[in-house]
Structure 1
């Protein structure tokens, strides 16, 4: 198992702005969502900060955090 890469350090003398970390997404039971790969679905289970179980009609998928391809409607 490999460790995730450490984020690059922002140098105080850099002329560029420091990167802003993305805001974590939060989902609740019953939320209607859309996924780039699976389409429209409804959240049927939550593992806090780890994953969401989503029913897409034809299949149920466990989508892992940070939910990059999933958005709440």
Structure 2
């Protein structure tokens, strides 16, 4: 089942609008196999799999987690 995008995200900004245009979304961070990462909830880990900008599989010892994009709570070390 495909999820719908929020309606506000699909609206275009009119040049005559008195409001500022919405800020552009930051680019999604890219991870590679063997990258060391830190996650706010799970702690330190190592990337063991990458799914083309969809998700990454991370080994956090003693568990493995699939982290979907965008990776808001995860940073590369």
Q: Which runs of structure 2 are paired with 1:1-73 in the superposition (5 Å)?
A: 1=1, 2-6=3-7, 7=9, 8-15=11-18, 16-73=20-77
Higher mean Cα deviation, 1-10 or 18-27?
1-10
CA deviations over 1:11-70 (Å, ceiling 9, x no partner): 323442441211111000000001111011000011111110000011100000111111
TM-fit CA distance, 1:4: 2.7
Aligned residue pairs total: 73
Q: Which has the higher helix share?
A: 2
Kindly report the root-mean-square deviation, in angstroms, between the aligned alpha carbons of the 2 structures. Answer: 1.6
